[in-house]
Chain A
Amino acid sequence: MDPDFRIAIVDYDCGNLFSIQRALHELGIKSFITKNADEILASDKVILPGVGAFGDGMNSLRKQGLEDAVKKFAFSGKPLLGICLGMQLLMEESSEFGQHKGLGIVPGKVVRLQEKCHNGQRIKVPHIGWNDINFNISNPLFNGLNSGTYVYFLHSFCVSASDTDYYVAKSAYGDNEFCAVIQKERIIGMQFHPEISGPAGLRLLENFIFNI
């Protein structure tokens, strides 16, 4: 990899930035954490992490003046990876604790997981734990992995895109069949946490860096 290659992790006080940076470091990949709009725009790849509620996340991005930078970066055609809440923020809107506008990079919205199952049982939301994701192995994002691999989820909401062709990996929890990885050209969103999904998660991060 070009030593001048710049990978930015967006710091908007809403993510476990350091675990993502540690995971990249383990892969021998240098990255930097930034709150600076110009630095984001000058990067080659951007990772948008995120934990917590949608409204808080968007407010925080806005307050730091990073909303436009992330949008501009995405529309420039350079690769952007949103993780968990960072994936959900890519959408147009969410109904988590009221209606909130998102970044609008991917058409669609964010909806709550259903607790009720067809057989009358209930599942617990948030969905916390390892679950299998199913995908087409021809996508270079999944190089070296088998469909059905397990990754770690931690979420109560999931994306509902206008075009389900954007769903490149799916998972199921109770009766919910939901999007685990979304991809619109070089914009990627992962609903799970690759940085704490063991060797499979590290591979996904590596593939994003080298193959997208």
Chain B
Amino acid sequence: MEGGVSFNMIKPIRIITRMDIKGPNLVKGIQFDGYRALGMAQDYAYLHYREGADEIIFYDTVASLYQRNNLLEFVTAVSKHIFIPLTVAGGIRSIDDIHKILRAGADKVAINTAAVYNPDLISEASKVFGSQCIVAGIEAKKRKDGTYENWVDYGRQPTGINAVDWSRRVVDLGAGEILLTSIDFEGTGKGFDIELTRMISESVSVPVIASGGAGSKEHVEEVITKGKADAIAIATIFHYNYAKPINRMFSASNGNCLRMGEQIDEGNMEFVNTFYGGLGEKRFDVISIAELRDYLQKKDIKCHNR
């Protein structure tokens, strides 16, 4: 009997929206590069909450580069009206940074770059704030020999550290969850890196959030049943779903409205609708959070029922 099915019956999985943020905008790139603005991040955050996301991860895309997190004001604003767990990633470098962002309204922080340079940050932070709010970020890229390496600085810098070894290390240090992103698959829509996810999930005792590559609901199902993911973080197929014009027949004239009716101030709808400006083949089957949940439940995967 296939073990994956009964496994998931007893343990609901989480559907998390991942929002990459630059300035006031929600952005999305391919393999951590080539960003496009999709609209105001704040509008999307409220929209994902209303639509039933289990959690939201806010990723400050340029924080590591500038050595600071720029989401303090943003989190302060959105957390007043969003009552699901909020995780902030990017540019978290010190106990003081964590203190500030938690006080602003985040429930957890994800740390990668700073933990590689200073692993004690994970142990100290989990002692001060509790393991439950310390998420270790791992951004893995496959090496020629088939092993995986952890990269830092938002997928810009290799570290020479084996990703599986590192996952065990951060859990020993006190991380309560792992946010695992495949750099090779991120933004491509060709599915999650199942091998990577399964390897990490089976080597640690804490939940693993799989991120990077979802192009369809089947991909999500696969990373849960075969990749043993405990949660999935999704960007493109949700964002593009909600960024669709209200009425596609009039997309040229109504192209600056979200389906939910909010204005996109900085959006680049043509780019979105032609999928990377026509450069890539269309590989994304956009879906709403509710539709994905219904699909997973039909496949006997327990998840949050609203």
Quick one: CB contact mask for B128-153 with A, threshold 8 Å, 1 for yes?
Answer: 01111100000000000000000000
- A198 / chain B contacts, CB cutoff of 8 Å: 49, 52, 83-84
A16 to chain B, nearest CB (A): 7
Return the chain B residue nearest A25 by Cβ: B80
Q: Tell me if A38 is interfacial: C-beta within 8 Å of chain B.
A: no
Give min CB distance, A78 to chain B, whole Å: 26
Q: How far is the CA of A126 from the CA of B52 in the complex (A)?
A: 23
- Tell me whether A184 is interfacial, beta carbon within 8 Å: no
**B29 contacts chain A at the CB level, 8 A cutoff:** no
Q: Is A174 an interface residue (CB 8 A)?
A: yes
Shortest CB–CB separation between residue A59 and chain B, in angstroms? 14
A26 CA to B13 CA, complexed, in Å: 28
Q: How far is the CB of A47 from chain B (nearest CB, A)?
A: 15
B156 contacts the other chain (CB 8 A): no
Give the distance to chain B from A27, nearest Cβ to Cβ, in Å.
10
Q: What is the distance, in angstroms, from A115's C-beta to the closest C-beta of chain B?
A: 8
Question: CA separation between A124 and B131, bound complex, in Å?
Answer: 14
Given the complex, which residues of B lie within 8 Å of A197, measured CB to CB?
Answer: 83-84
* Smallest CB separation, B246 vs chain A (Å): 25
Interface size on A, residues (CB 8 A): 38
What does the 1/0 interface line of A107-132 toward B look like (CB < 8 Å)?
Answer: 00000000001010101111011111
Contact between A126 and B54, CB atoms less than 8 A apart: no
In the bound complex, CA of A202 to CA of B105 (Å) = 16
A22 within 8 A of B: yes
Bound complex: CA of A25 vs CA of B52, how far in Å? Answer: 21
Q: Are A196 and B131 in contact (CB under 8 A)?
A: no
A154/B105 in contact, CB under 8 A: no
Interface flags for B255-270 (1: CB within 8 Å of A; 0: not) read 0000000000000000
Asked if B207 is an interface residue, CB under 8 A from chain A, the answer is: yes
Chain B residue at minimum C-beta to C-beta distance from A201: B83
Q: Do A126 and B132 have beta carbons less than 8 Å apart?
A: yes
Chain B positions 86-143 with a Cβ under 8 Å from a chain A Cβ: 86, 102-103, 105, 107, 129-133
- Could you tell me if B176 and A152 are in contact, using CB atoms closer than 8 angstroms? no
A residues within 8 A CB of B52? 198
A173, B10: Cβ atoms closer than 8 Å:
yes
Query: Quick check: is B11 within 8 A (CB to CB) of the other chain?
Result: yes
A23 an interface residue at 8 Å Cβ cutoff?
A: yes
Is A140 on the interface with B (CB-CB < 8 A)? no
Is A104 on the interface with B (CB-CB < 8 A)? no
Residue in A18, A124, A172 whose beta carbon sits within 8 Å of that of B230 in the complex: A124
Set B81, B102, B129, B176: member contacting A128, Cβ < 8 A: B176
A211 in the interface, Cβ–Cβ < 8 Å?
no
Enumerate chain B residues within 8 angstroms of A130, measured Cβ to Cβ. Answer: 12, 14, 54, 303-304
Q: Closest chain A residue to B85 by CB distance?
A: A196
Q: Cβ of A65 < 8 Å from any Cβ of B?
A: no
Kindly identify which residue among A131, A152, A199 contacts B85, using a CB–CB cutoff of 8 Å.
Answer: A152
Please pick, from B6, B83, B130, B306, the residue contacting A51 in the complex, using a CB distance under 8 A.
B130
When the two chains form the complex, which single residue of A52, A117, A174 contacts B130, counting CB atoms closer than 8 Å? A52
Check A19 for interface membership: any CB of B closer than 8 A.
Answer: yes
Q: A26-B80, A129-B230 are in contact. Are A121 and B7 (CB under 8 A)?
A: yes
A144 on the B face (CB < 8 A): no
Do B132 and A154 have beta carbons less than 8 Å apart? yes
A195 to B85 CA separation, bound complex (whole angstroms): 9
Q: Does B3 contact A (CB under 8 A)?
A: yes
Interface residues of B in 8-30 (CB under 8 A from A): 10-14
Top 7 closest A-B pairs, CB basis? A130-B304, A52-B130, A150-B304, A129-B14, A154-B132, A51-B130, A196-B85
Which residues of B pack against A, CB within 8 Å? 3, 6-7, 10-14, 49, 52, 54, 79-81, 83-86, 102-103, 105, 107, 129-133, 176-177, 205-207, 230-231, 303-306
A-B contact pairs, 30 of them (CB 8 A): A18-B105, A22-B80, A22-B105, A26-B83, A51-B129, A51-B130, A52-B129, A52-B132, A124-B207, A124-B230, A125-B205, A126-B132, A126-B207, A128-B176, A129-B12, A129-B14, A129-B54, A129-B207, A130-B54, A130-B303, A131-B12, A148-B305, A150-B304, A152-B54, A152-B84, A195-B83, A197-B83, A198-B83, A198-B84, A201-B83
A contact set with B: CB distance below 8 Å = 16, 18-19, 22-23, 25-26, 51-53, 117, 119, 121, 123-126, 128-132, 148, 150, 152, 154, 172-175, 193, 195-199, 201-202
In the complex, given contacts A125-B205, A130-B54, what are 8 additional A-B residue pairs having Cβ atoms less than 8 angstroms apart?
A: A19-B83, A19-B105, A128-B14, A130-B304, A154-B85, A193-B85, A196-B84, A197-B84
